[in-house]
């Protein structure tokens, strides 16, 4: 994602990311599919670039505190019903990509590249690089639904 800010790139670089990074997603795809998840092309692209990264930082952000996040979709195993129910409400397939705040929330991505906070409420961080920027820089997500369906 070449449109990432310098500050976001530095956060991701410290976690092991580099421009052009590609990781094998086949094990994630297989295990998630066996658990009932649909892994679409946007999730595949995202995980091939960012999968396996863990950002342990905290501190002040732009409109919320910066919280630790990890891009490991297997952290959502067993939660396929939650992802599919929220997906039905927004009319998208939301695939898991990791977690936020050391497991307090899950992170997902839809087929258009929008990154979501998935919990007993649903919010979106933004599309593609904008979503990654929001996570890395501490931008509050836009709340879509305040309670679980």
For the segment 28-85, what is each residue's pLDDT rounded down to a tens digit? 999 999 999 999 999 999 999 999 999 997 789 999 999 999 999 999 999 999 999 9
CA–CA dist 29, 62 (Å, integer): 34
- What's this model's pTM, rounded to 2 decimal places? 0.95
Question: For residue 111, what are the CA distances in angstroms to 32, 64, 139, 144?
Answer: 16, 26, 22, 17
Q: Which pair of tokens denotes residue 143? A: 């709340």
| Most confident among 17-21, 53-57, 94-98, 144-148 (mean pLDDT) | 94-98
Q: Which pair of tokens denotes residue 107? A: 């992170």
Q: How confident is the model at residue 149 (pLDDT cuts 50, 70, 90)?
A: low
Query: How far from each other are the two terminal CA atoms of the chain, in whole angstroms?
Result: 33
């Amino acid at each position: 994602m070449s449109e990432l800010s310098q500050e976001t790139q530095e956060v991701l670089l410290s976690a092991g990311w580099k421009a052009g990074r590609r990781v094998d997603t086949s094990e994630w795809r297989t295990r998630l599919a066996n658990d009932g998840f649909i892994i679409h092309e946007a999730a595949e692209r995202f995980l091939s670039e960012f999968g396996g990264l863990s950002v342990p930082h905290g501190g002040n952000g732009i409109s919320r505190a910066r919280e630790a996040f990890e891009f490991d979709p297997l952290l959502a195993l067993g939660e396929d019903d939650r992802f599919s129910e929220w997906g039905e409400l927004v009319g998208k397939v939301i695939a898991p990509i990791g977690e936020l705040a050391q497991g307090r929330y899950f992170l997902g991505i839809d087929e258009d590249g929008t990154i979501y906070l998935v919990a007993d409420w649903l919010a979106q961080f933004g599309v593609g690089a904008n979503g990654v920027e929001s996570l890395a820089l501490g931008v509050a997500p836009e709340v879509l639904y305040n309670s679980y369906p």
